[in-house]
Amino acid sequence: MIFIKSVFCPNNDYYDSFCKCIMNNINYILSLSINFEKIILIGWINKNIDIEKLNIIISLFKEMLDIELVLWDKNYGKIKLYYDFNKYFKDNHIIFYSDHDILFDVMDTNIISIINLEKKLFDDKKYSLLMLNQKEDCRHQNTLIENIDIIDNLKIGISEVGSDLGGGCFFLKKTEMKEPKYYYVYGFDEKYLMECIGENKRGLILNNYVIHPYDLNDKNLVYKKWKLDKILYNLQNYEKRLLKLYTDEIEESENMWI
């Protein structure tokens, strides 16, 4: 099993937060002796940011953890990241994924319990996707949970819709990640993920939490407004979308931080 974490650092505030987040994740993993075969950090850091601090963090733990940093030249977004899971599924049965800002808490996050039940959850019970619940800025629409599945100490909410669940942190069984019909810098990543899962079982572990902090770095809500505008526009133009719009979004998403 490998751990993949996204990287999103458009400015120094986000970069500092990401470095603190990585330290939180590493300390949690080491404190519980979680044996990930590899930790892969994938995504975009603004070219104007000095990444020495992150390189120091990685080097500090290189004797204990195999950490690989994969940086994009542009901000390609989460759908590309999900599609790139294919190359890592070649040698791995399960991917554990978290967004760039997800924090672990020893009191609320119990990754070990899921890893210990890996065979029962993913082979016997046939789950393909299990998401962890979120504290603080929760993106799950828990009201749409239709059924509850109790497996040992885990309480799993089952939703037939799937895309009503936030994709911030999850376990994903080996899945063919299909070539996306459209790429987006932001938005529709959960929809794409559910399209890849298809009819396979997915669930939300209701009693196992990670922390999804409120975004305090977007002080003037410029990024939030841009994301909402893009989602609304793409919803209205979904069937007419052209590849050129993706390249435009990439450029816009980077230029707003200049």
Domain that holds residue 55: 2-255
Residues of the chain above pLDDT 90, percent: 58
Angle (CA) 112-101-230 rounded to 5° is 130
Summary count for the chain: helices (H), strands (E): 9, 9
Span 60-76, pLDDT tens digits: 999 999 999 999 999 99
Q: Kindly provide the b/e burial profile for residues 3-23, where b requires at least 16 CB atoms within 10 angstroms of the residue's own CB.
A: bbbbbbbbbeebbebbbebbe
Which amino acid is it at 46? Answer: N
The CATH number of the domain holding residue 77 is 3.90.550
* Longest pairwise C-alpha distance within the chain: 50
Taking only the tens place, the pLDDT of each residue in 95-137 is 999 999 999 998 999 999 999 999 999 988 889 999 999 999 8
Exposed/middle/buried for residue 190 (C-beta within 10 Å: 0-12, 13-18, 19+)? buried
Q: Which tens digit of pLDDT belongs to each residue from 160-192?
A: 665 567 889 999 999 889 998 888 888 888 888
How many domains does the structure of the chain reveal? 1
For range 232-237, the mean pLDDT: 77
